[in-house]
Amino acid sequence: MVAVLLFAAWTLLLAMIYVVPRVPPVMLFKKPADSWTRGKPNTDPAILVRAQHAHLNAVENLPVFAAIVAMAMLMNRADAVDPLAAYVLYARVGQSLVHLTGTSFIQVLLRATFYFAQVLLMAWMIWQLVG
């Protein structure tokens, strides 16, 4: 299913947005190699922090989406997920793009809307498979 592959590619791209800028300062000894945010104050620019969070959001949902699509394929029921799979991807990309651009109240509300659209679409896919 193309939508699952694109979802996975999007997840990897989000990781690269915040990982790639962190490598040169470490390699040039301008930052310690353990300067990641685990339990420490974050010194990264806000865009990198938002990129990391957008990536983690994608990682949280990719296995669920992939499992639904994989089960549809195993059940010979691609028809139950095909019409909706691309919309799950669109909502994921929309959520990520809003996440990358800021954290205002409207942006957080829009992000939540994109998230719940994904949840509802995936729930509908499951319903189509088992209902």
Q: In this predicted structure, what is the pLDDT of residue 30? A: 84
Given a contact cutoff of 8 angstroms between Cβ atoms, the answer to whether 11 and 59 are in contact is yes
pLDDT (tens digit per residue) in 90-103: 999 999 999 999 98
Q: In this predicted structure, what is the pLDDT of residue 33? A: 65
pLDDT (tens digit per residue) in 34-60: 666 666 677 788 998 899 899 999 999
CATH number of 2-130: 1.20.120.550
Name which residue leads in pLDDT, 115 or 8: 115
Q: In this predicted structure, what is the pLDDT of residue 55? A: 92
pLDDT (tens digit per residue) in 1-27: 678 778 888 888 888 887 788 778 878
Given a contact cutoff of 8 angstroms between Cβ atoms, the answer to whether 125 and 84 are in contact is yes
**Per-domain boundaries in the chain:** 2-130
- Cα Rg, the chain, nearest whole Å: 17
Given a contact cutoff of 8 angstroms between Cβ atoms, the answer to whether 88 and 65 are in contact is yes
**Residue 103, Cα to own-chain centre: how many angstroms?**
16
Given a contact cutoff of 8 angstroms between Cβ atoms, the answer to whether 91 and 121 are in contact is yes
Is it the case that residue 104 has pLDDT exceeding 80?
Answer: yes
Amino acid type, 51: A
pLDDT (tens digit per residue) in 66-91: 999 999 999 999 999 999 999 999 99
d(CA 35, CA 42) in angstroms, rounded, equals 8
> Residue 40 is encoded by which pair of tokens?
């420490």
Handedness of CA 35, 37, 43, 46 (dihedral sign): positive
